[in-house]
Every structure is written in structure tokens, then in C-alpha cells.
Chains A and B, each alone.
Chain A
């Protein structure tokens, strides 16, 4: 399925290029040009390990190159700074990094640059947002001990007993080893995420100076930042990687609103916007505004309905199945999203390597008869409540879903709005949901595992509904220990299949992100991680 979707995208690019009458080679492009792209104000200091939100990662991503990067064609990891990542037992990994690379300040990138950066990010008192990504490495509990009663509780978190992860060892200048606390076959795939970027000596000497002028090892280096207006980057000419940019300057323009950015995009004042605002999507207005400047692609995020297993009657499997079968996904995606969403048939995203269609089977298909049967079996007759925040444009579909359930099952089904994402998340985290609720997932790294473990494993970081299935957990553990990737994928798919009867969450749809480019860009593709694929950008000569 993923391949099938990529073909039309490639064809579209070729057609656009052909339409311009120039072949798609770099000779026809202006390699000294500068482009401007839409961005939101970074919410955090500009340090990779402390940036998990979009506005900041759009700045840091071009500035840093990690061990692996995700290919834009199929989101698969390829070695970037890593020469090789080897393991025999999925527990001890030996990483060799490429020689001769430097940071933008001229200092060399060594094994120590990675180990020091990871240790810094994982260390509790540094209070980084990315710390939890290192929790699989041996010794994490010592550098970042858990608060026994949560952050809100009266007890203080115990002080860390170590300031370095015991699982990280520098072997020589270009080699280091990673020991995990449990075998995890997918680990090499995860390290492409930005929090795993290396940091130069300069960072550890003067953190504030670094935040004001970050130094990376990626294809672009930092030039200047005017808070609230723009951030300017320029090509790093000594860059050793394969993904050398085909243009010179990159300006990340910060807009007060998406709508004003869209007006600039239409007027060709802005070169790229990775997600168009709702007023442009309504009635497919963007098609008349942008014409062949529309860029679209299926991206790695989905929409689901999660269940609070701690609240009755949502712990009833028959009820969950009945609700899922009573939602007319096809009609809702057509009516509300005009086809820019695709009904989901499983929990794993279709773009993932190894994805298998129809894993959810009949339980994700609209079937009023079966739904009523299951509903009767559940023995529940009361009201069904769907909760969601409304600040992200969720009201329309949530109401449609509630109506679909109401009409099919003949029960009272109600949508209950919550004003802000923050408030909503707080209730989710505190396990205070009074009904089923909206949830979604954006892949952290491209692996089937990322769509299962964090969400459904007992006690996992984002298993907010407190779902627990020992057989499922055992299957995941078996997959984590698998000797090869192919074997691991097979076992993860078996685990996904186990969810179909249980319906710990209802997969609704996956998203086709719609972006737009200016007529100055000859080529500009979207990356599956919902951002501009900078390697692909070519400016009209």
C-alpha cells in the first residue's frame, strides 16, 4: 500500500517538472537562491535534546545530522553520521561514526560528541523535554529517577545517583557502544529522532551562548534569529553528508497566524507551507488559489478514539467493538475532510515498513447489523460520551462520530468539548476521563513498534487509558528480542492482530497532509514526518 501511494506522488512531481519544460536536474536550478518557509515560534530554547515541539524542530532539524536519517521516499532509516550500527543480541550496539565530519565551528564530531550530548539530555536535573527517549539505555533510572508519587505529589524525586548513563561507553574517537537495559531490536531505527543529535564542546562550555547561536553538524548553519519575526540559516559548505542542499539560504518565517501565511503563499511571498489552514481547506479553496502549486502526501499520523479502561462501561470489549462498527468512517472522511483522510483498517500506519492491510478486520468496518448485535451482547444501555479538545479543529468530526454512533446503536451519544489541548491532556494524564476520548499519534520514528508499544503495552509512556493485556505484552517482548528486523516485524504484526478483538482504541483515519509551494520552487516535496523535505527543494533558475 505504501509503495502504491508513493508512485502517484513521484509521477506528479515528474509531471510538474515536465510541465515546466526543464528536466529535473540540478543544472536547471538556482543553487545560490534563498527560500522562505512557514514556521511557528519555537517554544523552547534551541537545544536538540530539549525540543520536542514542531516550531523548534523545524529549526534544529536542518542544523543537525544524527546517526541515521529517515528517507523521504518511504521514511526508512539510512545511515547518516553512522558508518555502521552493529549488534548480535539487540542489547549491545556498537556504533561506528564517519570520520572527518565537523561542527559548524570547525570542531570535529567524535563518538564523545554523541555520548556527552545523550548523557546531558538524559540527566534529570537538566530538565529536558527529550529525556524519556533515553529510558531504554542502561542506567537511565540512576540519572533520572522516577518521582514516587508523580510531579504533583508532595514527595520530591530522589536525587540522581549518577550523572552519566552507564550504558554508554566511548571506545575510541569514532566508536562507542550502547547497552540497553532490555533487548530492543528496533533501537537503531529510533536514533534518527532529533533528541539523539550530537553536541559540540561549545555547548558544554557555555549553554546560554549556544542557545543564542546554536552550532550543529548538519547541512545548514545558524545565521541569526529575530524572535517573533524569523530565523535565518545558510548552507554549510563543508558539509560531508549526502543530502547537500540545492539552494543557499533558508529563512524560517514566523507568522502571527496560519491564515496570514497562507495569503503570503498565494501571493508568492512565501515559498512553502507544510500544512494549509482550515479556511484554505474548506471547500477545497486551495485548488483554485494554488492550482499546480499544491503539494500533498500521506504523512505519519493518525486519529483514534481511546478508551479509559478505568471508567465503566468502557472496559467492556463488546461495547468497544460495537462502537467501532457503528462509525461510518467512509462517509465522515468524505463529508468532512473531502477525502483528505483515509479510513484506517488497523493500528499501524500504512506507510510503515511491513504494514499489513486489514489487521483490524471486520471490527473497523461500518456494519450496523453487527454493531447492534455486539451492543446487545455488551448489556449496556446508557449514554456514550466522546470527549475532545476543540482548539485543533476536532469538533466537526467528533460530532459526526457521536451522531453516527447514536443513529446506528439507537443510544444517546454525546460529544463533550474541552476548551484547550493543555486542559484536555491534563485530564488524560490524570486518568480523569469520564468517557471515551480523542487521541492521535504522530510517529516518533518509523517502525511498527512505535504504533504499538508506547500506546498499548501495560504501563507504557502513552498508554493513558491503562489498557493491559498480558498476552499482547508477551508478544511485544518477544518481538523486541527478535534477532532480525524481518522476524521482529512478523511478531509485531501478530501483536497488532491481537488488538482486533480487544479494540483498546478505535482507529479512525490516517491523514493526507496538504501543503503548498510558491512558483519559485521547481521541486518541493513533503516528508512523511509532515515537514518540507529540504533535500528535494530546487529553486527555479
Chain B
């Protein structure tokens, strides 16, 4: 197991280099000089533009620029944005917020999704099954921004039950955006666990367990669920990565000061240093999440071993 983890960690190095280079190249390759639109309809003073180009090494060839950036990055220096803010500090400030939001969403997704999936999977073709199928179909077909605006409009503005935006990002305040963010994946989790449960319900080991006289609760809760959750765990794991990086829409609607908004605004203002920094961190998170998921497999199914 230890060697497997080590091997996986080493594999991350080329992936990390490749992705950061791609991001770096793409960010600075977006058409338009990043300092042209900075001063509105009038041109920026030449001294300003040349100082900025110098600061971001824009006059060097791309590989040299990237090497300089990587050199700083390896020393833990994410650099400064064009407005003089520390990229590292901004990531440290926004990441915990998004992590909190993602955890709330993951919890909502796992609890509601798996429960609905198990219930409908056990009662094939019953009323509950059809209900879950129809409601998940509905959730899948509605984009997150629609869910978000509708929730904000109905519960926030018309009924006045919630604040239309998040005033401070505490766990309690993040429940509503968490629900919105989780809504789509929740439906997938429900369907995934339903299919898995329905398939495994007729498996030999379940029949054996029942024949041995174990209670249905124990058979379902321990034997059936444990095996059926493997694909679901994979989905949840990668989804946490997606939540961390892709909460742009939800964060925008509910004004959550997290990573999504930071990336979005940085792209709009062409703050290359910020975009590269944040996305680099996201790549790392994603890699670690997939490693964690793979390790969880072994815990769930003893037949899977990585040696």
C-alpha cells in the first residue's frame, strides 16, 4: 500500500508540470494585451505598460516566462497580481470558504442522494422508485443557475425566509447555496446508487447472507451497501474536486466570497498570476482527491489491493 501511494504521488509530478504549463500558456495566450483595457477608453501611459510587462516577464519567450514562474512557485511564492495583492494570501482567504461550501454540498449530496438511491433500488418499480426517478430527471434537466435564481427569488425575495445573499460564509449560511450546488449531483448519486443496489440485490453473496439467517437490515446496511457504494464513492470524490473548482455560478448568485468568483473575476480582468495560482492549487486538490478515492476502494472492498 505504501509503495502504491508513493508511486501515485510521484506520478503527480509530471501531471502537475503539464497542467500548470498549459494553464500558464493559455492564460497569457488569451487574445488582447492584459494591460490594454486597464485604463478604460483612454490608453494607459507607456511607462505603466512597460513596467507591468517587465513585472510579469511578458517580453521573455514563453518557456522562460514559465520557468521563472515555476521557480517562484516551488519556493512557495505565488507572486503578486497587477493590483499588488499577494496571490497566496488570496488563495488562503478564499479556499476555506469554498471548502466549507463544498463540504456542505457533499454532505447534502451524499445523505439525500444515497438514501433516495437505496430506497428506490430496494423497491424496484414501486411508487417510491418512480418518484425518485421522476424527481431526479427533473433535477438533472434544470441547470444550476436556474435552481439558484429560483431559490433566491422565491425564498429570498418573495417569501423572505432566507437572506438573498450570504452575508458571512459560516456553515449555517452556506446551507442554501450548498443545496443548490449539490442539486444536480444529488440526482446523479441517487440514480447511481439505485442502479448499483438493484444490481447487487440479486448477487450471490446477498443470497448467502440471507440464507445464513442474517437480518435484512444487516444484509442491506453492511453487505449490500458496502459493495454498491464503490461507484458512488468515485463519483463523490471527483465531485468534491468539481465543487471546489466549479462553484462559480453558485458563488456568483449567492455572493459567496470563494475561489469560483476569484477565478472568474481574475479571468475577466486578465489577472494571469491569480488565475494560474488558483488553478494550480485546484489541480493539486483534484489529484489528491482521486488518490483518496482510489485508497477508499481498498477499504470498501478487501478484494482490491494495491501491491
Contact = CB atoms under 8 A, between A and B. Distances in A.
Contact of B37 (A151, A259, A264, A422): A422
Contact of A426 (B33, B39, B46, B268): B33
A228 B47 contact: no
Interface size class of B (residues with CB under 8 A): 35 or more
B46 A146 contact: yes
A329 B49 CA distance: 37
Contacts of B53: 151
A461 interface: yes
A43 B38 contact: yes
Contact of B253 (A257, A425, A439): A257
Contacts of A310: none
B44 A129 contact: yes
B255 A267 contact: no
Most chain B Cβ neighbours within 10 Å, of A52, A144, A151, A429: A151
B93 A129 contact: no
Interface stretch (A120-128, A236-244, A313-321, A338-346): A120-128
A33 B152 CA distance: 28
A423 B32 contact: yes
A471 interface: no
A260 interface: yes
A151 B156 contact: no
Interface residues of A, number: 55
Most chain A Cβ neighbours within 10 Å, of B42, B164, B257: B42
A228 B165 contact: no
Interface string A417-456: 0011111111001000000000111100000000000100
A261 B255 CA distance: 8
B255 A228 contact: no
B50 interface: yes
A131 interface: yes
A128 B48 contact: yes
18 contacts: A43-B83, A43-B269, A146-B46, A228-B90, A228-B257, A229-B257, A256-B265, A263-B152, A263-B153, A263-B156, A267-B164, A269-B165, A420-B37, A426-B36, A429-B36, A440-B41, A454-B42, A461-B42
B259 to A, nearest CB: 10
A342 B262 CA distance: 36
A131 B261 CA distance: 31
A42 B84 CA distance: 11
Interface string B39-76: 11111111111111100000000000000000000000
B47 A131 contact: yes
B85 A263 contact: no
A260 B254 contact: yes
A255 interface: yes
Contacts of A260: 164-165, 252-255
Given A257-B253, A423-B31, A128 B38 contact: no
A381 interface: no
B83 A157 contact: no
B216 interface: no
Given A144-B47, A259-B253, A462 B41 contact: yes
A4 interface: no
Given A266-B157, A266-B164, A269-B164, A125 B47 contact: yes
A44 interface: yes
A211 B83 CA distance: 10
A51 to B, nearest CB: 10
Given A43-B38, A43-B82, A422-B270, 14 more contacts: A127-B52, A129-B44, A144-B47, A228-B93, A255-B165, A257-B253, A266-B157, A267-B160, A391-B268, A419-B31, A422-B32, A425-B32, A426-B31, A442-B40
